[in-house]
Every structure is written in structure tokens, then in C-alpha cells.
């Protein structure tokens, strides 16, 4: 029975189960979870960083801090379909609640950026505090929290206009945030060993 089973019972013949793994060498490994093997390696630019599956599109989005761009991988073909130049250093990416926009920061230009997921173009840009390293949408979709590493602040930005509503002093060298599901409280952490250029 096990020898004759070619794919898990929950997958129809036309469906696949893949994982995507980024590497420091600027390559994303595509892993077939049915066959338990790497089926492809895709070059996405120098220093492949965080990657995220788009909530509604068959795409994997990721950042290239050293390359200063966001890349988009078309999942059905496993080919890079777009590289979006930001003119700065992105570290993370998050999506709006309706999945129409992607948000990232440019650490070297102190900017928060919104990218149109359909056109793959920068739709809006706003100023942040010093050295923003993370942008995260609140669960209610109304705000974007930006962790400013150099300033030791948490910027609270309007999700529609990107304008900063407040800058809250937090722990030194912050680099991550967690938000309660009701968007009432955010927790900020600093990892002493994490270093940014």
C-alpha cells in the first residue's frame, strides 16, 4: 500500500505541496514535500532574506537587503516574475488585510513603502524613524507598526496614507514586534546579537 501511494491522499493529481527556503547566497530552494526533495534552485538576487506566500495570489514574495529590492516568484512556474527596486535596504515584508498591497521598509533611506501587488509598482512612500527594519500590519488592518532600530522607537502609521501618527519610545535596538489579535497592545523585542549594517 505504501509503495503504491505516489502522493498524499489529500492532494489531487493536479495539486502540489511545495516549500520555499531562502539562503544567504541569494538562492531560493524549491522543495517538493511529496517527494521530499529539492526540485529547483532559483536565483533571486544577493542576500535572499525573509520570504512570504501571498495570501491570494500564487506567488512567493521576498526581500533582497543587499540588492535593495523585493522579488516575486511565480509559484506555478517557479520563475522570478518581478524585481521591485526600492532604492534602499528592505528586511521584511507584510501584506494588507485585503492582500492588495505589500508593505516593507527601506532601512537605508528611512522609508515605509506600499507596493501594489497587481502591478508590482511602488504605490506610496512615507518617512519613518531612523533605520526601520520591520513593517507589520495590525490585525484590524488599520495601522502599520514600524520598528525603528536606530531611533529605538515604534512608529505607528496609518495603513491607508502611510503617514506616521505616533512614534513611541521602546527598548534599545528593537528588531521585532508582536501584536495582540484585537490590535490593542504591541510587544517589542530586541535581540542583542542581531546586527544591521
What is the secondary structure of 129-196 as a DSSP string? SSSEEEEEE-TTSSEEEEEETTTTEEEEEETTT--EEEEEE-SSS--EEEE-TTSS-EEEE--TT---
What average pLDDT score do residues 57-66 get?
A: 93
pLDDT in tens, 98-144: 999 999 999 999 999 999 999 999 999 999 999 999 999 999 999 99
pLDDT in tens, 141-179: 999 999 999 999 999 999 999 999 999 999 999 999 999
Q: How confident is the model at residue 59 (pLDDT cuts 50, 70, 90)?
A: very high
Q: C-alpha cell of 40?
A: 529547483
Q: Report helix, strand or coil for 25.
A: coil
**Percent helix, strand and coil across the chain, each to the nearest 5:** 0, 45, 55
| Contact status, residue 81 vs residue 189, Cβ threshold 8 Å | no
Residue 27 CB-half CA count within 13 A: 8
Query: Closest by alpha carbon to 188, among 140, 143, 136?
Result: 136
Q: Which domains does the chain have, with CATH numbers?
A: 1-85 (2.40.10.480), 88-192 (2.130.10.10)
Would you give the end-to-end CA distance of the chain in angstroms?
Answer: 54
pLDDT in tens, 4-14: 344 454 555 55
Q: Go through the chain and tell me how many residues it has.
A: 197
In this structure, the dihedral spanned by the alpha carbons of residues 49, 58, 178 and 175, taken in order and rounded to 10 degrees, is 20
Q: C-alpha cell of 114?
A: 506600499
Query: Closest by alpha carbon to 164, among 122, 116, 112?
Result: 112
Q: How far apart are CA 22 and CA 35, in angstroms?
A: 19
Amino acid at each position: 500500500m505504501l509503495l503504491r501511494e505516489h502522493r498524499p491522499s489529500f492532494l489531487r493529481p493536479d495539486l502540489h505541496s511545495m516549500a520555499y527556503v531562502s539562503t544567504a547566497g541569494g538562492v531560493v530552494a524549491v522543495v517538493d514535500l511529496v517527494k521530499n526533495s529539492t526540485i529547483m534552485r532559483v536565483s533571486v538576487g544577493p542576500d535572499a532574506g525573509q520570504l512570504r506566500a501571498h495570501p491570494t495570489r500564487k506567488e512567493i514574495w521576498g526581500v533582497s537587503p543587499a540588492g535593495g529590492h523585493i522579488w516575486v516568484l511565480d509559484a506555478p512556474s517557479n520563475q522570478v516574475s518581478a524585481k521591485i527596486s526600492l532604492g534602499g535596504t528592505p528586511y521584511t515584508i507584510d501584506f494588507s488585510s485585503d492582500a492588495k498591497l505589500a508593505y516593507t521598509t527601506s532601512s537605508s533611506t528611512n522609508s515605509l513603502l506600499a507596493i501594489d501587488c497587481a502591478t508590482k509598482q511602488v504605490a506610496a512612500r512615507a518617512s519613518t524613524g531612523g533605520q526601520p527594519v520591520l513593517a507589520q500590519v495590525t490585525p484590524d488592518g488599520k495601522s502599520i507598526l514600524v520598528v525603528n532600530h536606530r531611533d529605538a522607537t515604534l512608529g505607528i502609521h496609518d495603513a491607508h496614507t502611510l503617514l506616521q501618527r505616533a512614534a513611541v519610545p521602546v527598548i534599545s535596538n528593537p528588531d521585532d514586534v508582536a501584536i495582540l489579535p484585537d490590535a490593542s497592545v504591541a510587544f517589542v523585542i530586541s535581540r542583542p546579537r542581531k546586527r544591521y549594517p
